[in-house]
Amino acid sequence: MTVRARSARALLAALPALLIAGCAGGGRLPAAVQGSAPTTTAAPDTQTYSCPADEAEADGVTPKSYEPDGPLPSPSSLPAGSTMVEIRDRGALRIGVSADTLLFGARNPLSGQIEGFDIDMLKEVAKAIFGVNDAGAYDLLDFVVIPYSQRIPKLRSGEVDIVAHTMTINCVRWQQIAFSSEYYQSGQRVLVEATSPYTSIDELDAAGATVCVPDGSTNLEKMADYPGINTVALPDISDCLVALQAGEVQAITGDDTVLAGLKKQDPATAVVGDKFTFEPYGLGIAAEHVDFVKFVNALLDEMRTDGRWQAIYDRWLLDTLGPQTPPTEQYGRVEK
């Protein structure tokens, strides 16, 4: 082979290597990483509850609770072996409450304490069990802040002794837990801007107004009775206040208790019209703690007559909801 031929071959042999050097390939940026949360498969409560025919109440009538066996016992004479003694021996009353329902159960950002009508009711329960004063009662409350959906499960699991959480007493819920007698009678009303021409849900219906209502609530179901209203459902009723302040809706509808809290946050609004639903609130207690239900009912009876209920109402709700008297107790439930 000549020198020329060898040179030509060497060049041809080098060609692929040089081509590769010129076209390296690879080295690209991958897409962004994306993590994920571990999937939890909590067993859903598949049991459905319905109201037995013999327990069904007429619309607008509060279901009956357990009648107290007698006057409220003093803290030093609680029945041995009772739920109340168990709580007293534990040293704390475990309560399920809301912390974002202004006037009923909301955290005061300055004091750090959760306060409101519901909280004061529970302080009275603590005072009756532990025999302490008002200030001491707060320290004996073991707060468990829970969402609406956890009110019944937390009672059934025994994680809390009692729930005060703007909770409506009804026959279906009585199949799962027990209730005290009615401690507040709420109902659905309307919140509008103070200068609004509307004064009732019927006027809003007739005018074809846009009304905000919390999504997934019984309040939303009620709107089917007012077909003229353009209903806007938002996740939380506070979101409705944001929408009202932004001028996106002309009114908000919800329980008067919650509307009172909204009005407190925005003095340029007004709660108007009569209640057009019936929402009797009760303190929730585990179904098996009938003795505790009777104890709380005896306490509520005392509070209705000695002015304590009125004082608590006036402290929290008089300014926004106007004068109101304690609801009448409904007894006669038979222990199963």
Partner 1 sequence: MVTTAIVAVLFGVLSATGVDRRATALTAADAASQQLIAVQDVQVRLVHADAIARENYLRGGIEDGAKRVTYAAELAAVSDGLVSVANSVLSNEAATLAGVSAQLSRYSGLVEQARANNRQGFPVGASYLRTANTLSGEMVASLQSVQSSLRQQVNDSLDRADKAGIWLHATGWPLLVMLVVGGVWVASRFRRVLNVPLVLAAVVMLLILVVGGTVQGSAMADAERATSGPLQAADLAAQARSASFTAHAQEFTTLIARGSGTDDGAWQTSISTTELALDQLCTIADECSLKSYVRDYADAHASVRDSDNSGDWDAARKSSLDGEATLSFAALDSASSSTAAALGQQAAVAMSSAADGLALLRVLSFLAGLAVAALVLVGFGQRMREYR
Of the candidate spans 34-42, 45-53, 64-72, 325-333, the one that interacts with partner 1 by CB under 8 A turns out to be 34-42
Of the candidate spans 48-56, 211-219, 239-247, 295-303, the one that interacts with partner 1 by CB under 8 A turns out to be 239-247
**Binding partner 1 by CB under 8 A: which of 13, 21, 42, 80?**
21
* Contact between 206 and partner 1 per CB under 8 A: no
Tokens 């080295």, residue located: 27
Tokens of 67: 């009648």
CB of 154 to partner 1, least distance (A): 10
Contact assessment for residue 316 and residue 103, using Cβ atoms and an 8 Å cutoff: yes
Contact assessment for residue 68 and residue 297, using Cβ atoms and an 8 Å cutoff: yes
**Binding partner 1 by CB under 8 A: which of 230, 265, 325, 328?**
265
* Contact between 232 and partner 1 per CB under 8 A: no
* Contact between 31 and partner 1 per CB under 8 A: yes
Query: Is 146 in a helix, a strand, or coil?
Result: coil
CB of 128 to partner 1, least distance (A): 22
* Contact between 22 and partner 1 per CB under 8 A: yes
Q: Are strands 284-285 and 269-272 parallel, antiparallel or unpaired?
A: unpaired
Tokens 């993590």, residue located: 35
* Contact between 241 and partner 1 per CB under 8 A: yes
CB of 4 to partner 1, least distance (A): 6
Contact assessment for residue 65 and residue 335, using Cβ atoms and an 8 Å cutoff: no
Q: Which is nearer to partner 1, 181 or 217 (CB)?
A: 217
**Binding partner 1 by CB under 8 A: which of 193, 202, 203, 266?**
266
Residues 67-106 that bind partner 1 (CB under 8 A): 94, 97-102, 106
Q: Which is nearer to partner 1, 11 or 206 (CB)?
A: 11
CB of 182 to partner 1, least distance (A): 23
* Contact between 44 and partner 1 per CB under 8 A: no
CA neighbor of 177 nearest in space, from 197, 159, 200, 195: 159
Count of residues near partner 1 by CB under 8 A: 58
Angle, vertex CA 201, rays to CA 197 and CA 205, nearest 5: 85
Report DSSP letters for 69-123, one per residue: SSSPPPGGGPPTTSHHHHHHHHT-EEEEE-SEETTTEEE-TTT--EESHHHHHHH
- The Cα–Cα gap between 104 and 315 comes to 11
CB of 245 to partner 1, least distance (A): 8
**Site mask, partner 1, residues 150-189, x = CB under 8 A?**
---------x------------------------------
Q: Are strands 141-145 and 114-115 parallel, antiparallel or unpaired?
A: unpaired
- The Cα–Cα gap between 142 and 146 comes to 13
- The Cα–Cα gap between 100 and 327 comes to 25
CA neighbor of 295 nearest in space, from 61, 86, 145, 92: 86
Residues 107-146 that bind partner 1 (CB under 8 A): 107-110, 112, 142-146
Q: Which is nearer to partner 1, 236 or 274 (CB)?
A: 236
* Contact between 215 and partner 1 per CB under 8 A: no
**Binding partner 1 by CB under 8 A: which of 1, 27, 54, 335?**
27
Max distance between CA atoms of the chain, in angstroms, equals: 125
Query: Is 162 in a helix, a strand, or coil?
Result: strand
Q: Which residues bind partner 1 (CB under 8 A)?
A: 4, 7-8, 11, 14-15, 18-38, 94, 97-102, 106-110, 112, 142-148, 159, 236, 238-239, 241-242, 261-262, 264-266
